[in-house]
Structure 1
């Protein structure tokens, strides 16, 4: 029996966010397990079997030179985008030759490296795009230019009747390439500059900590988009499954809904511990009125969209990872467990206090708060897979008895299901 290529690989992933703050693509980290040699042509066929044309665009990021060389040698035209690290390209003539042949076959290649090391125009022309790291001085340049622009605008407003009070500002020394992708941005201000000022094609990852710091003084609210979508689903008399999915697409909305269905004002005899049960017991008329009450205070901050979406992606993966054959109720419970696992970030208080306000099962509380119980390993693995680091994934895989092929297929299935109709990465000339 021929061994599957997926059995000797370790995957991780990272979302790519576009200028609209919606999903623009998926970056898939590919590690070859120690002591193995993988048929990368088989790997690409396995991805192609799962990935639909409606799914988010895929960028494959090899984590070793051997994996990169095999991909460049065997990938046919129409394969997902492939990242080529600039330092490897510069140090290894064999990689450069493979890159030239891959370009000639029409592969979509992405140059990856520091902004300061971007190749000259002739060498860069064959790459569809680039994934750039900003050097510390570059990051400072963006930050200073953004702040200077804000100060200039403030000065103009204060001294509109005194033009002489406005002094010209020195032009920033940083020269970013328009339409490229950027990674490693830990500041929301820099992220906004790359996407909005410099028209970046995408940001790999999102500065979660700095985003939460920026909005720490705002009262957490459900997103207006989720509220509108759920109200529209009610108007169109969509299925209970569709309404449950929309309700679970916003962790703050889902949590608020459980608080409401368990409130003394409703006086329900039984505690509501799932979104589906809440929908059944509440009734559509009451639900519609409650949603309308949430609208005036709904969150419209676009910079919060990637954070909330990432929470949902983790919940979708956790639901996929739960042991095959379990009941739908347990799958929904696992989804809710993962969805609520980061409520402390969104609601600005300890997660244990948040969870105690609802009659959720002890399995959810134990997994999130004490990292014990039947859901703990799934929660940890869904988090570990959001990284380029292979060792934590391999350790959990061995500890919990997950087969590499099974785990990789589950991850690919979840990622390929992200048919969100969001902006796609555009090739750059």
Structure 2
């Protein structure tokens, strides 16, 4: 019964990335129906039903003051699923919101202040927020970039508007991202400057991640089950693509096309995989800033897999996973998506969904992509168009984020 609330709301998500370029938390957009209240206890129960102990915290970001009031008044403070509640500065002037914030803090809720970087909570409310999610104004962003440039040049940085221990959003440049996380020790960034980081590649293909390859070699040395090795391999999009291209190359000489990682691993064997990985290690990428870009692709792939009918066979699940993983492979390959996908013998269903926007996987790709953006209306419209219930979509998202 706890999950019934998921049929009356629309969810979406956006990761927060820390200095290790790993997911520190996930912003979960929550959009209700016509400013109606929600059953907060059942909502938190739904999060708890889906969550595992090592899941990242969820930053609950509601779309209306009414939903926020309901969470502040009724959300249980103790839950197996760690969560934070975002409080927007512009909502503090109505409906006794300051008193609600204080009461929620006393109950033990973890609250996050969200505002422009020059907007602080009043002194009596400041202790209620364990951290702040801030957006730099244009002037503050310029000052931060100047401080970052001075740090890069080895000169004194002076005062930066970026504060240690805070969360920041709207960071669109690599230089400013590195200033926030590496120089000023911000806790995490909401969103990632993908475009600026990928622009530096100058339309050239990036190499697989060195750390991921070392982990795979170690997995083979440790004689892990092929399922574990397949899962590790599938978490690096470029390496996955290269492995499929290699397994189907003339150098290997297999008689039949290899369309999945499992098939390739079973035919080649893990010892062959290790030799192939070791040969590539000298050219591997050591740029940690590409890891969030690739991790976001993995999230989309997992989400598509979870959106699929749970009764589908494993082979079909792997195919849908590859569809999500390769749906943006062009930005890493430095070539159009269609020409890149033609280099490996993938199922026509994958090509049709990612390039032609047609076929049975296209609806899953449409919905998975929409969930990455704060647009509840679009998600509801897509669910209606493709005959998918909101509750099923939301449960698939929560399994992806907290499973």
- After TM superposition, the score normalised by the length of structure 2 is 0.95
Q: CA deviation at 1:323?
A: 2.2
Q: CA deviation at 1:177?
A: 2.2
Q: Do structure 1's residue 116 and structure 2's residue 102 form an aligned pair?
A: no
Tell me, in whole angstroms, the C-alpha distance in 2 between the residues paired with 1:231 and 1:396.
42
Q: CA deviation at 1:218?
A: 6.1
Q: Do structure 1's residue 103 and structure 2's residue 105 form an aligned pair?
A: yes
Tell me, in whole angstroms, the C-alpha distance in 2 between the residues paired with 1:66 and 1:99.
14
Tell me, in whole angstroms, the C-alpha distance in 1 between the residues paired with 2:200 and 2:254.
38
Report the aligned-residue RMSD: 1.8
Q: Do structure 1's residue 360 and structure 2's residue 346 form an aligned pair?
A: yes
Q: CA deviation at 1:75?
A: 1.3
Aligned residue number for residue 413 of structure 1: 399
Tell me, in whole angstroms, the C-alpha distance in 1 between the residues paired with 2:233 and 2:2.
44
1:8–1:36: 8 Å Cα contact kept in structure 2?
no
Structure 2 SS opposite 1:34: coil
Structure 1 residue aligned with 2:145, among 143, 146, 166?
143
Structure 1 SS opposite 2:53: coil
Structure 1 residue aligned with 2:180, among 162, 183, 194?
194
Structure 2 residue aligned with 1:82, among 79, 82, 85?
85
1:113–1:2 distance in 2 versus 1, CA, 3 Å: closer
Q: CA deviation at 1:36?
A: 4.8
Q: CA deviation at 1:226?
A: 1.5
Q: How does 1:335-414 map to 2 (within 5 A)?
A: 335-414=321-400
Tell me, in whole angstroms, the C-alpha distance in 2 between the residues paired with 1:236 and 1:17.
30
Aligned residue number for residue 55 of structure 2: 55
1:2–1:179 distance in 2 versus 1, CA, 3 Å: closer
Structure 1 SS opposite 2:114: strand
1:131–1:345 distance in 2 versus 1, CA, 3 Å: same
Q: CA deviation at 1:312?
A: 0.4
1:181–1:201: 8 Å Cα contact kept in structure 2?
yes
Tell me, in whole angstroms, the C-alpha distance in 2 between the residues paired with 1:88 and 1:171.
34
Structure 1 SS opposite 2:76: coil
- List 4+ stretches of structure 1 deviating above 4 A: none
Deviation per CA, 1:102-141: give whole Å up to 9, x if none. Answer: 1111111000010011224443122110110111111111
Deviation per CA, 1:224-246: give whole Å up to 9, x if none. Answer: 12211111121122111111101
Structure 2 SS opposite 1:264: coil
Q: CA deviation at 1:53?
A: 2.5
Higher relative contact order (CA 8 A, sep 6+): 1
Q: Do structure 1's residue 12 and structure 2's residue 47 form an aligned pair?
A: no
2:143–2:161: 8 Å Cα contact kept in structure 1?
no
Q: How does 1:311-322 map to 2 (within 5 A)?
A: 311-322=297-308
1:261–1:278: 8 Å Cα contact kept in structure 2?
yes
Q: CA deviation at 1:324?
A: 2.8
Aligned residue number for residue 42 of structure 1: 42
Aligned residue number for residue 313 of structure 2: 327
1:185–1:218 distance in 2 versus 1, CA, 3 Å: same
Tell me, in whole angstroms, the C-alpha distance in 2 between the residues paired with 1:384 and 1:219.
27
Tell me, in whole angstroms, the C-alpha distance in 2 between the residues paired with 1:292 and 1:151.
36
Tell me, in whole angstroms, the C-alpha distance in 2 between the residues paired with 1:3 and 1:37.
16
2:307–2:364: 8 Å Cα contact kept in structure 1?
yes
Tell me, in whole angstroms, the C-alpha distance in 2 between the residues paired with 1:343 and 1:359.
15
Q: How does 1:233-382 map to 2 (within 5 A)?
A: 233-382=219-368
Aligned residue number for residue 158 of structure 2: 171
Structure 2 SS opposite 1:29: strand
Structure 2: runs of 5+ lacking an equivalent = none
Tell me, in whole angstroms, the C-alpha distance in 2 between the residues paired with 1:386 and 1:302.
22
1:16–1:24: 8 Å Cα contact kept in structure 2?
yes
Deviation per CA, 1:344-377: give whole Å up to 9, x if none. Answer: 1111110101000111111000100011000001
Bigger drift between 328-337 and 282-291 goes to: 282-291
Structure 1 SS opposite 2:129: coil
2:2–2:43: 8 Å Cα contact kept in structure 1?
no
Bigger Cα Rg = 1
Q: CA deviation at 1:327?
A: 1.4
